[in-house]
């Protein structure tokens, strides 16, 4: 099974987001419950696991029963960092750069404070 086969099985096209994959899977499971359509449900479930589970995707692509070559596009992962995480990382980096410019490594914040203790 390729990514395109899995997308076709879930009636999806293009580059769907994880939410769209989840919604399509839920919709099709309600339409084809395993009690009444076990073959169709098995195909839907395999397609869903292929799209959402990296170990299943790798196992299916590398199996001898696949019969097709493996391309790099089958292993492409898209990771998007939340903007808050990026902002936090940039702020932390900026602070550490400013601190290192003010106090080079090995110096304390106050002159004559060799032990690093700040008297109150």
Residue position matching structure tokens 């009690």: 35
More confident residue, 105 or 118: 105
Q: Output the pTM of the full model.
A: 0.48
Residue 110 lies in a domain: no
pLDDT digits 0-9 by tens, 50-65: 888 877 667 766 665 5
Mean pLDDT of 20-37: 91
Mean pLDDT of 83-88: 82
Q: By mean pLDDT, which of 18-32, 41-55, 79-93, 103-117 is the weakest?
A: 103-117
What span, in angstroms and rounded, lies between the C-alpha atoms of 6 and 43? 9
Number of domains in the chain: 1
Domain residue limits at 19 = 3-72
Mean pLDDT of 86-109: 76
Residue 84 lies in a domain: no
Residue 33 lies in a domain: yes
Residue 87 lies in a domain: no
Q: Please report, for the domain that includes residue 18, its CATH number.
A: 1.10.287.110
Residue 92 lies in a domain: no
Mean pLDDT of 63-86: 64
């Amino acid at each position: 099974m390729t990514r395109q086969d899995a997308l076709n099985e879930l009636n999806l096209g293009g580059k769907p987001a994880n939410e769209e994959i989840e919604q399509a899977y839920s919709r099709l499971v309600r339409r084809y419950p395993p009690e009444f359509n076990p073959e169709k449900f098995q195909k839907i479930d395999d397609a869903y696991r292929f799209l959402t589970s990296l170990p299943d995707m790798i196992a299916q692509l590398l199996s001898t029963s696949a019969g097709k070559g493996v391309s790099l596009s089958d292993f492409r992962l898209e990771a998007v960092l939340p903007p808050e995480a990026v902002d936090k990382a940039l702020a932390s980096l900026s602070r550490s750069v400013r601190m290192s410019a003010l106090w080079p490594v090995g110096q304390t914040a106050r002159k004559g404070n060799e032990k690093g203790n700040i008297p109150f």
